[in-house]
Amino acid sequence: MLADAYAVVRVGYRTLLAATPDLILVAEADDGEAAVKAFLAHRPAVAIMDLGLPGTGGLEAIRRIVQRSPEAQILAFGAHEDPIFVQQALRAGARGYVTKHSTPAVLVDAVRQVAAGGVYLNALVAQRLALQKVRGASSPLAELSTREFEIFCLLAGGEKILQVARRLSLSAKTVGNYATSIKSKLAVHSLTELTRLAIRLGLSQA
């Protein structure tokens, strides 16, 4: 199963998978809710999940799928190489992480490895995780839950409370409560400080 917000991306990977004899695409989804429903309906051997899904959101969708189906083999798909994104995806229940900068061959190899019950990480991502562990360093964002991390990324990217609420199908009050918890955990006092923190951590652009 392939879950990605953009039709053009799904078409590209659909073509790739169609050219790979041992892989068959059985379902697609363009948002978090649809991904959860499609997984439960089709029970694919592997689900490729974009972390940037609208609606429920990629991380939350992964968490919900694994909650309903603990044996789910999920390969997270994201634009970031920072270890915190990998850690959050694995915490949510993914069995691997591939960046969108990877070659088609890497994605196919990752799908096969996860389908076989293994764990797959990009070489660069694995190297950064190992380096972080050796140095004993950890991101302050590691304290955030998967849902808080998703909301942090959206707020730090410049989206307002109402925009985040619409994107994740939540009430503005719920997002506001999450924002308060996030600021408390990260010891910041405003959304502006939240954005500055993201920039310092290399997760956002000035």
The dihedral built from the CA positions of residue 16, 19, 21 and 25, taken in this order, carries a sign that is positive
Domain spanning 2-135: which superfamily? Response regulator (3.40.50.2300)
Domain(s) labelled CATH 3.40.50.2300 in the chain stretch across 2-135
The segment(s) of the chain belonging to CATH 1.10.10.10 are: 140-200
Give the pLDDT confidence of 81-124 residue by residue, as tens digits: 778 888 889 989 999 999 888 888 899 999 999 999 999 987 76
Q: Which CATH architecture has domain 140-200?
A: Orthogonal Bundle (1.10)
How many CA atoms lie less than 13 Å away from 40 in the CB half-sphere? 14
Per-residue pLDDT band for 206 (boundaries 50, 70, 90) equals: very low
Give the bridge partners for 49, in sequence order: 3, 76
pTM tops 0.85, yes or no: no
Query: CA 18, CA 24: separation in Å to the nearest integer?
Result: 7
